[in-house]
């Protein structure tokens, strides 16, 4: 459930976080550090943060062991400061991602996992096919032959049996004890993906 109490933000000075925004419907992930709480500011040496000034909305994702927090924010500014960028955001609401709150359904659906790779300031995307073995409103377990570190942010495209497909930004949650399987926690949905997923799961439960 979203929390609008901005006095209880799950961030402190020096916390590491992923700053996420979209360009041409593709997620761009920038690793950053919280340097100020009021106003809420993050600093990064990644020059891609300069693109943030043209955006209206951004997500800030913080991970601590098995816990994941998601902050929605309005973009105020992104300015260069010597060898880094200072990104100023206006927090709107935040929530903790907890996949266990929602029932999981056994499925067998085609999945494409898209890893976002940055090289010389340019973002490239590497697609790896897989199969979703279970699915919920908060995440999925996927059979896949890929070496993805826990905590990595990726884009998932899942083909639902209804003939529709959904796209979501997700964090890699685990690699063990399942061999060849990865767990993903959904962070953000593209377009009406959350509605489509909810409708699909309602049909599964019927």
Residue in 139, 194, 152 with CA at minimum distance from that of residue 27? 152
Residue with tokens 């767990």, as numbered in its chain:
183
| pLDDT confidence of residue 178 | 59
pLDDT of residue 117: 56
List pLDDT tens digits, range 80-121.
999 999 999 999 998 888 766 678 899 999 999 987 655 455
Q: How many CB atoms lie within 10 A of CB 20?
A: 20
CA–CA distance from 200 to each of 8, 67, 164, 167, 203 (Å)?
A: 34, 27, 10, 14, 5
Q: What 3-state DSSP class applies to 41?
A: strand
* Contact (CB, 8 A) for 155 and 167: yes
Strands 139-144, 181-189: pairing kind:
antiparallel
Domains parsed from the chain with CATH numbers: 6-97 (2.30.110.10), 99-205 (2.40.10.220)
pTM (two decimals): 0.82
Helix (H, G, I), strand (E, B) or coil at 92: strand
Which residue ranges of the chain lie beneath pLDDT 50? 119
Neighbouring CB atoms inside 10 A of 11's CB total 18
pLDDT at 151: 80
pLDDT value of position 118: 55
Task: Look at residue 149 in the predicted model and tell me its pLDDT.
Answer: 79
Only one residue has tokens 């098995």, namely: 66
């Amino acid at each position: 459930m979203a929390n609008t109490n901005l006095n209880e933000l799950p961030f402190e000075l020096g916390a590491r976080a992923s700053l996420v925004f979209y360009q041409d419907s593709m997620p761009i992930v920038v690793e950053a550090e919280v340097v100020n709480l009021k106003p809420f500011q993050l600093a990064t040496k990644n020059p891609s943060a300069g693109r943030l000034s043209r955006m209206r909305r951004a997500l800030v994702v913080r991970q601590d062991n098995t816990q994941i927090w998601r902050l929605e924010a309005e973009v105020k500014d992104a300015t260069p400061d010597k060898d880094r960028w200072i990104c100023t955001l206006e927090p709107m609401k935040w929530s903790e991602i907890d996949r266990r709150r929602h029932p999981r359904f056994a499925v067998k659906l085609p999945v494409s996992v898209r890893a976002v790779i940055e090289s010389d300031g340019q973002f490239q995307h590497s697609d790896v096919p897989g199969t979703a073995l279970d699915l919920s409103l908060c995440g999925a377990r996927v059979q896949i032959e890929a070496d993805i570190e826990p905590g990595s942010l990726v884009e998932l495209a899942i083909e639902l049996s209804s003939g529709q497909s959904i796209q979501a930004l997700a964090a890699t949650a685990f690699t063990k004890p399942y061999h060849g399987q990865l767990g993903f926690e959904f962070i953000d949905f593209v377009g009406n993906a959350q509605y489509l997923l909810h409708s699909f799961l309602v049909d599964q439960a019927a």
